Amino acid sequence: MTRRLLWPLLVLALLLALNVAVNPAFLAVQIKDGHLYGSLVDILRFGAPLILVSLGMTLVIATGGIDLSVGSVVAISGALACLQISQDAGVFTAVAVALALSLALGVWNGFLIAGVGIQPIIATLILMVAGRGLAQLVTDGQIITVNSPSYKLIGGGYLLAVPFSVLLVLAVLAVTAFLTRRLALGMLIESVGGNAEASRLAGIRSRGIVVTVYAFAALCAGIAGLMISSNVSSADGNNAGLWIELDAILAVVIGGTSLAGGRFSLGGTVLGALIIQTLTTTVYSIGVPPETTLLFKALVVAAVCLIQSPAFRAKVFRRRGRPAAEPAPEKKAEVPA
């Protein structure tokens, strides 16, 4: 393991240890009714959509971009799939249509960024705002409830005792890891993130790469949307995937991928997403009142980000070395006007 993953691993271990201290049976995994059952399985199962979205986000951030629209894509994909199923379409058709639309939305984002040259944060802001409206348009402002056992499998079912959603995540992770770490794609993505213009001059089709990563991010979000809506057997255009983009960006940053682009760590992202999900579980299991969940989250996020900031480490370290030094010396010399 690289040193970059050390801090996230430590935080995750700490969170798990905290859980075990409160509830010694926390790590136990049993088989009930032929299903794996236990807190750890729950963390994986409930964290599956976030991990997926974060994986897509990792590649986007590696190119130096950001995708704010994933939450809306989650809502649209779930809404469309549920709408199709409620209109008696086959589950397979519904899933295919929803994923195709997600892919198209991703290509749209990619086109705005690579083709038109709009800043990623704004280009995806458009879809983030309009997408929520679109999702509500699809569901007509209602919550569509579906009753389809085969659709339920995606987010709530089990295959060979393992939650199907976890298997799905593992498959996507394996494919992504293979494509980016065994083929040249990962290096190309990093080079575009390092310097898009230089990589274009070096003969890399940076536009194609950018469109690809946004399409991939939207596809991941689409699958996550299917999972979320299938888990609760309903689609809520207003609240499905709300703020998941922020959690995903956090997961990526906690995992050690720089928002500036140029390098990424899939393992770190998975760790980051697991930390966020474990945090939520921890809040419930150690009896922190649910009202303070966000407060707790803010503190952990701040701590992780501060620990990872080189500037913070340098300053704290320097101060410890010279106790008499003034607090946080001003870095930039100020010239009197």
Partner 1 sequence: MTAVTLGRARPAVPRKYLPVLVTGALLAAMFVAGGVRYEGFAHGQVVLNVFIDNAFLLVVAVGMTFVILTGGIDLSVGAVVALSTMIAATLLRAGWPPLPVMALVLAVGATLGLAMGSIIHHFEIQPFIVTLAGMFLARGLCYTIGTDSVPITDPAFTALAQTRIDLVADLWISPSVLIALLVVLAAGYVLHYTRLGRTVYAVGGSEQSAVLMGLPVGRTKIAVYTISGVCSALGGLLLSFYMLSGYGLHAVGMELDAIAAVVIGGTLLTGGSGFVLGTVLGVLVLGLIQTIISFEGTLSSWWTKIFIGLLLFVFILLQRLITARRK
Residues forming contacts to partner 1 in the complex (CB under 8 A) are 66, 116-119, 121-123, 125-134, 136-137, 140-141, 237, 246, 249-250, 253, 259, 291-299, 301-302, 305-306, 309-312, 315, 328, 330-335, 337
Q: How far apart are CA 29 and CA 41, in angstroms?
A: 7
Neighbours of 201 (CB within 10 A): 10
Beta carbon of residue 107, minimum distance to partner 1 (angstroms, whole number): 15
Beta carbon of residue 130, minimum distance to partner 1 (angstroms, whole number): 2
Beta carbon of residue 293, minimum distance to partner 1 (angstroms, whole number): 7
- Nearest-CA neighbor of 278 among 14, 5, 2? 14
- Between 186 and 261, name the residue whose CB sits nearer to partner 1: 261
- For 182, what's the count of Cα atoms within 13 Å in the CB-facing half-sphere? 7
Beta carbon of residue 186, minimum distance to partner 1 (angstroms, whole number): 23
Beta carbon of residue 162, minimum distance to partner 1 (angstroms, whole number): 32
- HEC string for the chain: CCHHHHHHHHHHHHHHHHHHHHCCCCCCCEEECCEEECHHHHHHHHHHHHHHHHHHHHHHHHCCCCCCCHHHHHHHHHHHHHHHHHCCCCHHHHHHHHHHHHHHHHHHHHHHHHHHCCCHHHHHHHHHHHHHHHHHHHHCCCEEECCCHHHHHHHHCEECCEEHHHHHHHHHHHHHHHHHHHCCHHHHHHHHHHCHHHHHHCCCCHHHHHHHHHHHHHHHHHHHHHHHHHHCCEEECCCCCCCHHHHHHHHHHHCCCCCCCCCCCHHHHHHHHHHHHHHHHHHHHCCCCHHHHHHHHHHHHHHHHHHHCHHHHHHHHHHHHCCCCCCCCCCCCCCCC
Beta carbon of residue 9, minimum distance to partner 1 (angstroms, whole number): 20
- Between 129 and 174, name the residue whose CB sits nearer to partner 1: 129
Written as six digits, the tokens of 328 are 């946080």
- Between 222 and 261, name the residue whose CB sits nearer to partner 1: 261
Beta carbon of residue 87, minimum distance to partner 1 (angstroms, whole number): 20
- CA distances to 75, 280, 281, 323, 331 from 277, rounded to whole Å, are 20, 5, 6, 38, 37
- Between 200 and 297, name the residue whose CB sits nearer to partner 1: 297
- Between 139 and 212, name the residue whose CB sits nearer to partner 1: 139
Beta carbon of residue 305, minimum distance to partner 1 (angstroms, whole number): 5
Beta carbon of residue 106, minimum distance to partner 1 (angstroms, whole number): 16
- Between 104 and 295, name the residue whose CB sits nearer to partner 1: 295
- Between 26 and 108, name the residue whose CB sits nearer to partner 1: 108
- Between 1 and 116, name the residue whose CB sits nearer to partner 1: 116
- Between 187 and 259, name the residue whose CB sits nearer to partner 1: 259
